[in-house]
Amino acid sequence: MPGKVKVLLALPMAPELRERIDGVSKRIEVISLSRGQRLAWREGRPLWAGYQEPPPSGEETAKEARERLDALLAEGEVILSNPIVPGDILERAPMLKWLQLTSAGVDRLIDAPVVRSFSVEVTTASGIHAVPISEFVIGAMLAFAKGFPGALRAQAEGRWSPYLPEELEGKTVGVLGIGAIGSRVADLAHAFGARVLAVRRSISSRQKGDGRVSEFLPPADLPYFLGESDYVVVAVPLTEESRHMIGEPELRSMKPTAILINIARGAVIDEEALTRALKEGWIAGAALDVFEHEPLPPDSELWNMPNVLLTPHVSGGTPRYMERAVDLFCDNLHRYLEGRTLRNVVDPERGY
């Protein structure tokens, strides 16, 4: 009888989520890396706050953790991790067949040997962020429409300053990238009575909408899309094709009353051009959860702009994040054991 499939969990895991993975099949042996081993796996790089790494417990030394990690990697066939993956993972994990990431994007790893390898399938968690990020987008739209940033400043200053809020109904919401996140943004925006335009990479001419979306547009219609939209939601993966997709010409083609919302990757937008656009009034404002350099440098002008809402790359994170990631992983684990096609397999040529 063949040995069990060794599944390594390179992230902190609540006991009930670990039990879900254990319950997938008797053919697997699930091994949770210790805190020290996870630190060795990340090679000192910080863990995203949403994972809530427990405090040290006086376990093995750093040397012992590294040695134990190497012993586990030598036999690991499946690994669940965030995008922080050792660069030499192929050499250290010769039995590795599948790497499941808990991120939707793979831009930080797209040129890594493990993604380009023919021997390892890499899959993402695309789709699990649709609910939190779409709610975040609608929250940003409402914040600007209802004047909350200015109202909070006035409150902090003890200043009574009446103003006239706007409505989302009747506005045009442009969704740049109509994947899982963009699709749910379209659903919610439509529910508010907004007109929705969506740019779809896979079409070459305008297409009639599907009820929630008024029109599907090809990338060539980006100037029209930007000129029509009151809110532009950037929801495309970062690839060489999409890097600085929104630069000075695109920003200048937007309405001076428009709001730009970026929940994709910072480098999709030319941040220098965006800073100028916000200072000089090419557009009215921006809600930014992602930046070209993270953390955002202290000297960035974006910090102090009254027409900017900044958040530290948290739009996809909620207490249910890992629950959704584990559900997807368990489904993919069933598929893997049954020899079926995995969900969200990365295509290195497409960049996601």
Residues 6+ apart with CB under 8 A from 303: 296, 310
Q: How far apart are CA 60 and CA 36, in angstroms?
A: 7
Q: How far apart are CA 141 and CA 135, in angstroms?
A: 10
Whether 294 is catalytic: yes
Whether 313 is catalytic: yes
Q: Please check whether residue 290 is in contact with residue 104, taking contact to mean a CB–CB distance below 8 angstroms.
A: no
Dihedral sign for Cα 139, 143, 144, 146, please: positive
Q: How far apart are CA 101 and CA 115, in angstroms?
A: 11
State the Rg of the chain over Cα.
Answer: 22
Dihedral sign for Cα 19, 131, 212, 250, please: negative
Please give the full DSSP string across 293-318, using - where no structure is assigned. Answer: SSSPPTT-GGGG-TTEEE--S-TT--
Please give the full DSSP string across 92-148, using - where no structure is assigned. Answer: H-TT--EEEESSS--TTTTTSHHHH-SS-EEE--TTTTHHHHHHHHHHHHHHHHTTH
DSSP 53: P
Binning the chain into helix, strand and coil, the percentages to the nearest 5 are 35, 15, 50
Whether 45 is catalytic: no
Which residue among the candidates 184, 265, 292, 324 is catalytic per the annotation?
A: 265
Angle between helix axes 148-156 and 130-145 (nearest 10 degrees) is 70
Which residue among the candidates 293, 294, 320, 334 is catalytic per the annotation?
A: 294
Which residue among the candidates 38, 184, 313, 324 is catalytic per the annotation?
A: 313
Question: Where in the sequence numbering do the catalytic residues fall?
Answer: 265, 294, 313
